[in-house]
Chains A and B, each alone.
Chain A
Amino acid sequence: MDTTYERLGTLLAKLTPEENWTVLRFAEFLLEQRRVSVDARAARRKVSAWLVRDVGNLLMGGEPEYILGERPVWRVPVVVTHGRRGCATFVDVDTQTGELLITEDTPQKVLADVHAFVASPASN
C-alpha cells in the first residue's frame, strides 16, 4: 500500500496544479459514486413511470447525468417523443434514496417546459 501511495505521490508531483485539481475532482467523483445506492437505470425508470402516470403518457426519461453536490442527484432528461423530439427539461432523483425531487407543482412546470419546447422552432 505504501508503495502505491509513493507512486501516486511521484505521479502527482509531475502534474501541473490544474492537472492535480482535475485528478482530485475525479477521485471525489469515484468516492461519490461508491455511495450511490440507486443506479442510473433505476433513476430513469422512476422518472419515466412518474411522467407517464402523472404528466403525460408520451413523455419518458432519458439518459441520466450524475450531478455532484451536497445532495448528489441523477439528473434525468424529460424526453418529448412526438412532434419535435428531444429533451424539454429535467427531473432530479436522489442517488441515495431514489426519491424523486418534485413538488405538487412539478407536473405543471414540466408541461409548460414541454409546450415551450414543442413550440420552439430551434433544432435539437
Chain B
Amino acid sequence: MSMPLLPVPHRTEDFPGACLPACCQMALAFWGIIESQTRIAARIGHIDGAGTPARNVTRLSIFGLEVRWHEHGTIDDLRQATAAGQVPIVFLHTGELPYWDQDTPHATVVTGVEAGTVYVNDPAFESAPIPVPVGDFQLAWDEFGCQWAAVHRLPNVSAMGQA
C-alpha cells in the first residue's frame, strides 16, 4: 500500500543560491511557521557565493522545532522519517538527477518514498512534488555523503520556542 506524501507547502528560491533557505522555509511552513527566506538565510548563516554549512539547519530549533542532523543516511531512513511526519532536507548533486541539466550542489525536501521513487519538493522548480527514480536519487545523494536533516516539532512547544 502506498503512503500518502507529506503535504509540505512548496516554495521556490527567492534569490540565487537560496535552495537551503527555501527548503527551511518549506519545513517551517509545514509546521505553520511563516518566515521569509532572507530572514532564514540570516539565521542559518548564509554567505553569498558559498551558501551555508549544511549542518547549520539545526539552527531552525530557534523556531521551536527539533532538527536532527544525519550523515550516511539510507533511503529507508527517509521513508521512515516521512512516515513519522518528519520533514527531511537532503543535500544532492544535481548532475545525477534526470530532470536537471546543470551540475551543482543542491538542497531539496523529501515528501515521500515509494518503491522505486523518491518524491521531492525542489525549490529550483515551480512544480512539486517531482518523482525521482531511487537509483538516480541515491547517486545524487551519495556524492555528498548522504547527508540530511530531519525537521519536526517538539511536543508541547509552539513557534519560536515558546512553551
Contact = CB atoms under 8 A, between A and B. Distances in A.
Nearest to A61: B143
B35 interface: no
Given A60-B93, A82-B17, A45 B142 contact: yes
A59 B147 contact: no
B93 A48 contact: yes
Interface of A: 45, 48-49, 51-60, 80-84, 107, 111, 114-115, 117-118
A54 B105 contact: no
B104 A60 contact: yes
Majority DSSP secondary structure for residues of A touching B: helix
Contacts, number: 85
Contacts of B51: 56-59, 82
Interface stretch (B2-10, B52-60, B74-82): B52-60
A52 B54 contact: yes
B49 A53 contact: no
5 contacts: A45-B142, A48-B143, A52-B105, A56-B51, A57-B54
Interface of B: 16-17, 19-20, 47-55, 71, 91, 93, 104-105, 107, 142-145, 147
Contacts of A80: 49-50
Contacts of B107: 57
B49 A115 contact: yes
A53 B91 CA distance: 9
B143 A56 contact: no
Nearest to A83: B49
Given A111-B47, A117-B49, 12 more contacts: A45-B143, A49-B144, A52-B147, A54-B55, A56-B50, A57-B107, A60-B93, A60-B143, A60-B144, A81-B105, A107-B53, A115-B50
Contact of B53 (A56, A81, A114, A118): A56
Contact of A49 (B20, B52, B104, B145): B145
Which of A56, A111, A118 has its CB near the most chain B CB atoms (within 10 A)? A56
B48 A57 contact: no
A45 B51 CA distance: 18
Closest 7 A/B residue pairs (Cβ)? A56-B50, A49-B145, A58-B51, A56-B51, A118-B49, A57-B51, A82-B17
